[in-house]
Copies of this chain bind each other. A is one copy, B any other.
Amino acid sequence: MSISETYFPAEPKGPEVKTAIPGPKSNAKLAELASVYDTKAAYFVTDYYNSLGNYICDADGNKLLDSYCQISSIALGYNNPALLKMAHSDEMAVALCNRPALACFPSTDYYEILKEGLLSVAPKGLDKVCTAHTGSDANEMAFKAALMYQANKKRGGKPFTEEELTSVMENQLPGTSDMVILSFEKAFHGRLFGSLSTTRSKAIHKLDIPAFDWPKAPFPTLKYPLEKYEAENKAEEERCLKELETTIVNYPSKIAAVIIEPVQSEGGDNHASPAFFQGIRAITKKHDVLMIIDEVQTGGGGSGKMWLHQHYDVTPDIMTFSKKMQNAGFFFSEEGLAGDQPFRQFNTWCGDPSKALIAKAIIGQIKEKDLLKNAAETGDYLYSKLASIGDKNSKMLNLRGKGRGFFIAFDLPTPAERNQLLGECKKLGLNIGGCGDQGVRLRPALVFGKKHADILADIVGKAFENL
């Protein structure tokens, strides 16, 4: 019995498409919702009650195989019975009805929930956690941790000066900081004001919003197939590392931290080699800059490892997470990254026990059903099938993500053809996401099996033929 059959005996055998998508019921509901809520980005209205496993059901009863999964945020498929059990539990009800201000009034069971849940999958070396609310929020809390840590180090244990205490109330130096966070070209780290200043994926994310003038470094543009362009890719990565180091050394103020995604996701599923990430770790250590790895989209097991950077043999100072974990936050080890005084790294909720319980249940299932192995093996199987399509169709470019589980992507020659392909797939019953200008990314749940891979490949193949 496949993993999806153990969870979802009633899962559809294949996509069922009865109407255009969005269909008449979706459109009617969107019109209603649009009177009170922004729907300009909506694809269709979703019936979450009748979505099951790897199939998302829309308001018209169309059932699509889902390889996008709420922008990479569904770990165990729709209406997973193990999650439903947790959702119906007494501990969940108590967590939902009595949401604590966790930093002031932590709950008697928060330690156990963290220990059995999130901390049980903490990457090696990062044994503490700070919980947050969304990926953007987790990244900004990580920035604050890094900035305060570096400022304390510079201050050398001395108390704040009178000048710092007064100037900060005017948003001026020296109380506020001219230290910065460096990010990479094409990166995506969120859309709040600090995180958006490190996001460099698309103009539309950033236009008209004030930004900090923070520095960037180039992210390598690899050529595919990797085997063919080994030397060129190595040179490209070395160029990027060199430019990173030059920026760090010459920057007029201190770079507190570098933030990087293990695979740049929104920006186009841009991969780099383990050596590149190891190079960043060496440079950041050498120059006393912290390294933050943003696993918001890449984390949670889709790569065949719990965190994608575990493919690289690198230990960052901070690793952020959200999405598939359903609970956001960051892991760290250095005591000083928790702040040197109370109420500095602080907010009302500091997380949410109801989400920590969901994370614990998801992690429990990942272990119980060895879903990392499924992602690794099914991912390899899927990659091979897509490679065969690519062999026959010259419009599939830069197939990538081999050995990275489900973290597979490919490009089309133009943004228009990419969008056309996404539309064709939807018509054929596959919900699939784009990324960057002309990329297609796969982000199925961890319960996606070989039979789903067959259907996906079949539809993608047909969609390419229809282009």
Contact = CB atoms under 8 A, between A and B. Distances in A.
Interface of A: 29-30, 32-33, 35-49, 51, 56, 59, 70-71, 73-74, 78-80, 83-84, 87-88, 92-101, 103-108, 110-111, 114-115, 119, 127-131, 133-137, 140, 143-144, 147-148, 151-152, 160, 164-166, 168-172, 175-180, 190-195, 197, 200, 203-214, 216, 322-323, 326, 338-339, 341-349, 354, 358
Nearest to A181: B210
Given A106-B46, A209-B177, A203 B140 contact: no
A152 B98 CA distance: 42
Given A209-B176, A339-B40, A204 B344 contact: yes
A110 to B, nearest CB: 6
A134 B348 contact: yes
Contacts of A176: 206-211
A37 B129 contact: yes
Given A40-B342, A74-B99, A144-B209, 15 more contacts: A37-B111, A37-B130, A38-B339, A42-B104, A46-B107, A71-B101, A88-B88, A134-B347, A134-B349, A136-B137, A137-B192, A148-B207, A151-B208, A165-B207, A176-B210
B207 A344 contact: yes
Contacts of A29: 106, 108, 111
B213 A108 contact: no
B180 A210 contact: yes
24 contacts: A29-B106, A36-B111, A37-B130, A41-B342, A45-B108, A70-B105, A70-B348, A79-B94, A79-B97, A79-B98, A83-B97, A87-B92, A134-B349, A143-B193, A147-B208, A151-B207, A160-B203, A168-B203, A176-B209, A192-B192, A192-B193, A194-B210, A210-B212, A322-B348
- Nearest 8 interchain pairs by C-beta: A193-B194, A151-B208, A87-B93, A40-B342, A41-B342, A171-B211, A38-B338, A83-B97
Contact of A177 (B92, B104, B147, B210): B210
A35 B84 CA distance: 31
A80 B99 CA distance: 12
Nearest to A151: B208
A33 B338 CA distance: 13
Contacts of A35: 128
A133 B216 CA distance: 29
A171 B29 CA distance: 38
A73 to B, nearest CB: 6
A284 B304 CA distance: 54
Contact of A41 (B56, B147, B148, B346): B346
A332 B164 CA distance: 38
Contacts of A114: 36-37
A119 B192 contact: no
B147 A210 contact: yes
Nearest to A80: B97
B137 A100 contact: no
Contact of A33 (B78, B111, B323, B354): B111
Contacts of A342: 40-41
B210 A178 contact: yes
A195 to B, nearest CB: 8
Contacts of A166: 203
Given A29-B111, A134-B349, A206 B100 contact: no
B206 A168 contact: yes
A39 B78 CA distance: 36
A136 B169 CA distance: 18
Contact of A193 (B74, B140, B322): B140
B136 A134 contact: no
B194 A192 contact: yes
Given A29-B111, A168-B203, A200-B169, A99 B326 contact: yes
